[in-house]
Copies of this chain bind each other. A is one copy, B any other.
Amino acid sequence: MAEKEYVTYGKKSGCGCGCGMTGASQEITGCRFSLAPMTDRFVEVILGAIEKVDTSKVWKATDKLSTVYRGKQIHVEDALKATFVQAYQDGVHMTMEATFSKGCPGDTDADFILKEDDIPVNEAAIKDIHFPVACKIALYPMGIENYMEHIATVVNHAIDMGIYEGSSHYCTILNCDVQKLFEYFHDVNTYCGKELSHYIFEITCSVNSPTAE
């Protein structure tokens, strides 16, 4: 009988955090996301958006479940925002599920582009496009006991920005213009990138939902 190949997360030695792994040495922020335009033309909507996004400053890969961008935080955020904004169509209900992450002990120095500049390459084309977005967020600071405090900081920042709609089971609900929402995502990633060794920031954005408020 062939031996099974198991994963070994947490079983290697040499780290100080108990996880047994070292992670990437580079400052790689990643985002895995999926667009779901609820229309018969979903392929056209997704491909049409992708065509308009400049992904030259991030590493990217697509599989049948989602697309991943990896690189410098600002460029990953820029590519994600451009993909979402370019996929938006008047009257078409669409959701986007996205997972920002940085610092996973299982990460490696592979599959990334780290540009030296900080000029978001898509911003000029999308900065004047406005539409309202309903959004749920959840932050997972890993490996620390006081994770709830960091979650509170991030939620309270949404309150300060005036985009907080309320707390619900397992998430926080936001409601605002798309430009302000991505500004908030940037603030959260900046805070978490500095304060946390490993975090996951889950978001789901929804536009043109027919469900009543």
Interface residues of A (CB under 8 A from B): 4-11, 17-21, 30, 32, 34, 36-40, 42-43, 61-66, 68, 70, 93, 95, 97, 99, 101, 104-107, 111, 134-136, 138, 140, 142-152, 155-156, 159-160, 167-171, 173, 200, 202, 204, 206, 209-213
Q: Given A143-B147, A202-B202, do A169 and B32 touch, yes or no (CB 8 Å)?
A: yes
**B200 and A170: CB pair below 8 A?**
yes
Contacts of A34 in B (CB 8 A): 95, 204
18 new A-B contacts, CB < 8 A, other than A10-B152, A65-B173, A99-B202, are A6-B156, A7-B156, A18-B146, A19-B145, A19-B147, A30-B170, A32-B171, A36-B95, A38-B38, A38-B39, A42-B93, A63-B173, A65-B135, A66-B204, A68-B169, A68-B170, A104-B170, A143-B145
A14 CB to nearest B CB, Å: 13
Are A142 and B147 interface neighbours, CB within 8 A?
Answer: yes
Q: How far is the CA of A40 from the CA of B45 in the complex (A)?
A: 13
Report chain B residues within 8 Å CB of A63: 168, 173, 211
Q: Is the CB of A10 within 8 A of B146?
A: yes
Q: How far is the CA of A70 from the CA of B169 in the complex (A)?
A: 9
C-alpha spacing A38/B35, complex, angstroms:
10
List, in ascending order, chain B residues with CB within 8 A of A146's CB.
10, 18-19
* A200 to B39 CA separation, bound complex (whole angstroms): 30
**A4 contacts across to B, CB distance below 8 A:** 159-160
